[in-house]
Structure 1
Amino acid sequence: MKKIFTLLTAAFLIQAASAQSTWKVDKAHSHVKFTITHLAVSDVDGTFKDFDATIVAAKPDFSDAKYSFTANTASVNTENEKRDGHLKSADFFDVEKYPTLSFTSTGIRPNGTNKYKVSGNLTLHGVTKPVTLDVVYRGTISNPMTNAPDAGFKVSGTIKRSDFGFGSKYGSPMLSDEVELNASGEFLKQ
């Protein structure tokens, strides 16, 4: 009887593991944006042109999802070449020393219908800190071009750059300590 129970448990765990799906970001239909306030009167937006993201989930509502994200810091773009060069320098991203930033989720909890609080570790400028982001699952459709499942997500949150020693030479009100994060993306089932 004990052997049968052990075999059934193993079969269940194998089935549960195989039921997980991996979703990769469709970069052509996704963006990663940040906003910081300059001189306490104006918002400046930036994006990362080179990034990757993956979601692994077993449940169709993504309530058990695990998120991972990386961005190439040298791909920062604020539509101003001089400012972008400064952001890539040791004053800010220090792209030579810290070529990537990353986020890996550690937990998820519901926060309304198709809304979640996702906690995880953000690594920026060589510092890793826990952060919590708001995630809205926008639904899954059959992509009309590929007939494959395509899921949409919206992510938002706020971090403090002082937590990461980022741009420490530039205090408020030159640059706000709080940086808003916003991302929107389509994810293709693999």
Structure 2
Amino acid sequence: MKNETKWLIDQSHSEITFKVKHLMIAHVKGSFKVFDANIYTTERDFMTAEIDLRIDSSSIITGDLKRDEHLKGDDFFDAKTHKQITFKSSTIGKPDAHGNHELWGELTIKGITKNVKFDVQFGGIINDASGNEKAGFTVTGKIKRSDWELVWNTTLEAGGLMIGDEIVISCEMELTNTGKKDLTMHVKEETTIDHEAGR
């Protein structure tokens, strides 16, 4: 009988960041500070992993309070109505020659769901100083914000737009093994984000 392992994100050693072109000449960077996930796998290489990630859309930080409030509003994430950004995995590809995997799944932003691909580098599994089993990953990808109707913009006097459409996403994830349970008893859990996490 196969067992599956449940992993949770170690938020003190993980981050979800992004950058977007600004004024056509530079980038603005930001991050989400509150997120959580349930991750189940039956294999040590995570090829069978089921990922259910939830991000608090109001936890966005870009280093400018006025801009952050704009991003939380109706022009962008509409965080009061759409409190979470979610990602549910569907397929994890075999590693290429450089050890990178393709991760496919459904990304939901502002109530709109699209199929997306991320590149994943698996760092391996190791025990920390307290004996807890940890797994590490680097996740990168690109999406177009217009696909989720995040289309607010301003035209520059010299031509072009103030904000680019392409969003570059970069995540560092450290997971903690919480133990195993029978695969036949697996029921997906509906959990809420701990809004105190990451603060």
The TM-score with structure 1 as length reference comes to 0.87
Unpaired runs of 5+ residues, structure 1, are 1-14
- Picking from 63, 82, 93, the partner of 1:109 is 93
Matches for 1:1-190 after TM superposition, within 5 Å: 15-16=1-2, 19-112=3-96, 114-144=99-129, 146-166=130-150, 168-170=151-153, 173-190=161-178
Q: Distance in 1 between matches of 2:22 and 2:135?
A: 35
Deviation, 1:69, is 1.0
The structure showing larger relative contact order (alpha-carbon pairs under 8 Å, at least 6 residues apart) is 2
Partner letter of residue 144 of structure 2?
Answer: K
Unpaired runs of 5+ residues, structure 2, are 155-159, 179-199
CA deviations over 1:156-188 (Å, ceiling 9, x no partner): 10001111001x131662111110111001100
Deviation, 1:121, is 0.2
Partner letter of residue 173 of structure 2?
Answer: G
Q: Distance in 2 between matches of 1:89 and 1:51?
A: 19
CA deviations over 1:77-99 (Å, ceiling 9, x no partner): 01111111111110111111111
Name the count of aligned residue pairs. 172
Contact in 2 for aligned 1:63/1:116 (Cα 8 Å):
no
Q: Distance in 2 between matches of 1:169 and 1:103?
A: 23
Q: Distance in 1 between matches of 2:37 and 2:137?
A: 12
For the pair shown, the structure with the greater C-alpha radius of gyration is 1
Q: Distance in 2 between matches of 1:50 and 1:143?
A: 23
Partner letter of residue 170 of structure 2?
Answer: N
Structure with greater proportional helix content: 1
The TM-score with structure 2 as length reference comes to 0.83
Partner letter of residue 139 of structure 2?
Answer: V
Deviation, 1:63, is 1.6
Identity %: 34
Q: Distance in 1 between matches of 2:60 and 2:24?
A: 22
Q: Distance in 2 between matches of 1:79 and 1:55?
A: 30
